[in-house]
Amino acid sequence: MDMVKKHDAGLIVAGVLLVLCALLFLLAPGIALVTLTAIAGAAFLVSGIFDIVSYVRFRTAMRLSGWAVAYAVLDIVVGLMLLIHPFAFAAVIPWMVGFFFALFGVVEIAGSLRIRKAGVPMWGWMLFSGIVSVLCGLAFFVVPTTLSIFLAVFVLMRGASLIMYGWNAGKVMML
């Protein structure tokens, strides 16, 4: 008989950390926006560098075109702009974050409908979380100055979801 863990402590800890992060976004909204800008800048920069390295290493084997380099250079330029002037570009971040939150929510909604058909429990929570994600993403486009509030709601939902998934991991594994 296989032993099945009742809970996934890693998911629960990650969820608790996200809940704490949500509280930080509510208590220090300015810091949250500039921090997000810097994190996004670093991510674009690192992505561009890795894309160039991959192009150099695999261009002939994978038949990569010059567009791959152009995309990598664009990532680097955007990353540097966000890192050099985080306060100036912080105004753009709500729209970028809104787009990704809405997209994530749509993917989560689609996933919840798919797992519902498979008979997996907790699909309703996943559907609810996806709807909240889409609404938060759309809110960034309508009122971008509320980024930290809706970001806190989104991160709080992610944290609560991870805690619930972690707590119920054993139930899902037994299906």
pLDDT for res 172: 54
pTM for the whole thing?
A: 0.52
Instruction: Return per-residue pLDDT of the chain as tens, 175 residues.
Output: 444 567 788 889 988 988 988 888 888 877 777 887 888 889 889 988 998 988 888 777 777 778 878 888 998 998 999 899 888 887 787 888 788 889 989 999 998 998 899 888 788 988 998 999 899 889 888 887 777 787 788 788 888 888 888 888 766 555 5
User: Which residues fall within 8 angstroms of residue 82, CB to CB, at 6 or more apart?
Assistant: 37, 38, 40, 41, 44, 89
Helix (H) or strand (E) run with residue 55 in it: helix 29-58
pLDDT for res 125: 87
The span from the CA of 64 to the CA of 55, in Å, is 7
Q: Are 41 and 93 in contact (CB under 8 A)?
A: no
